[in-house]
Structure 1
Amino acid sequence: MKRKVVVLLVLLLSITALSVYAAVPLFFEKHKDLESVRVTLNGNLITGDVPPFIIEGRTVIPLREVSQELGLLVQWNQKKDQVQIYKPSVNMVVINEALNRDNNKTIVEPQRTFKQGAEYQLVIYAEVDHVPTSQSFDSKIVLVSPKGEEVHSFFKNDSNYFSTNKNSSFKVRNLVAKGTFTELGDYKLLFKMKDFDSSNYVTLAEKVLTVE
């Protein structure tokens, strides 16, 4: 019981853009001594196996769900009987190597604004720091359309593991995506990593590509 409570819940006295509203989820039918609350983070509702509640005037919320929303990774350390939280630092560079049909030359430059209908050949370089050493991490980079649809994955496989070195970091190089920007608006390049002991991928970095 101790582990379950520690892993899933954390007491937060104040978080920016965190608001609490009264509600009565089904969980509290079995725990009538607890006062339920509705918690949103940046407008997104926080839910979990154990919903947020108030006890003795303090608000308790699910640690993993809040951490994932904030771009944090949560790991349970069995030997130390403690929760470890990591905030990876991701430096992601996006290069467009699209062919210029006017002069038949390849343009190699960091580019964030594109014309609708333009062809692209995006090359991604990324370096991830501040993650545990001697471990493998399931990571992926995806391109998401303005409608929120995934239009390209920079990996062929669903699971792509990268191992950290002694400096608690790893690098991802020369990932290429080819296609055409068909929609107006903001496309997003998302770097995601699977959380410890979870099937969820956490977004650690984001680049916006605007199509006009």
Structure 2
Amino acid sequence: MKTKRLVVLFTAFTLLFGASVYAESMWGDYNGFSKIKVRVEGNELKVSDNEVPALVMNERTMIPLHQVASELRSLVNWNSATQTVEVYKPNVNMVFAQDVSKEDFTIKRPFARVDLGQTVDFVVCIDVDNLNVPVDGFRVSIVAPNGDTVANSNLIALRNPKDTSFWYYWPIKVAFSQKGNYKVKFAFQHKGEFVVVSEKTIVSK
């Protein structure tokens, strides 16, 4: 039963190097299996105490699929009918513009940097395609360098839930009072959970 649970929660990758597998790991063990560390884009994967960690089982590396997919800005869907885990990576592009034409929605005065202390009225222009999994809606948020959320669109429903592509323009006014990177995050709500699938930065200096 334990093995079945691990197979559902994890994806297996064949080890591509001829290293020996030791009974004990420098990171400890989980139910008799050696734990390992995982880095995604240079960042260490964080796993809470109540979650199954990355480990080595039967000379295969087993990693927590949900956490890895989240770090890779992807959505994970469990298809109970086919007993299949499906991973989707929607394409989400964001552009920041201080002006957008109301006639033909032409983007004008795009930017990615602001002066420290400046208050800017701008539009977050969002282009989404390859959305091949049902979602409840989406949310756009802006996080200051100190980690505080300074703007939040709240949940926005799709005009047509069956659409696999769409545009959205979010007008917002932000006071860039801190020096550093302001992170603009686009997240889909999937099965009640917000999953960030795109992130861009506005530099305040």
Give TM-score, length-normalised by structure 2. 0.78
Q: Once the two structures are aligned, what percentage of the paired residues are identical?
A: 27
Match of 1:75 among 74, 77, 80: 77
Q: Which residue of 2 aligns with 1:102?
A: none
Matched, 1:206 2:176: no
- 1:52 Cα offset (Å): 1.4
The alignment status of 1:122 with 2:122, answered yes or no, reads: yes
Q: Which runs of 5+ in 2 are unaligned?
A: 17-24, 100-107
TM-score (norm 1): 0.76
Question: What is the root-mean-square deviation in Å for CA atoms of aligned residues?
Answer: 2.5
Q: CA deviation at 1:14?
A: 7.2
Equivalent residue letter for 1:203: V
C-alpha separation between the residues in 2 aligned to 1:194 and 1:22? 37
The amino acid across from 1:142 in the alignment is: S
Identify the match of residue 52 of structure 2 among 42, 50, 53.
50
Are the aligned partners of 2:135 and 2:189 in contact in 1 as well (CA < 8 Å)? no
Distance 2:8 2:94 in 1: 31
Offset, 1:187? 1.2
Name the SS for the 1:128 alignment partner: strand
**Which residue in 2 is equivalent to 1:181?**
176
For residue 116 of structure 1, give the secondary structure of its aligned residue in structure 2.
coil
**1:203 Cα deviation (Å)?**
2.1
Q: Which residue of 1 aligns with 2:168?
A: 172
Residue 198 of structure 1, CA deviation:
5.9
Question: Matches of 2:81 and 2:52 in 1, distance apart?
Answer: 24
Supply the AA of the counterpart residue of 2:176.
Answer: F
Q: Distance in 1 between matches of 2:185 and 2:15?
A: 28
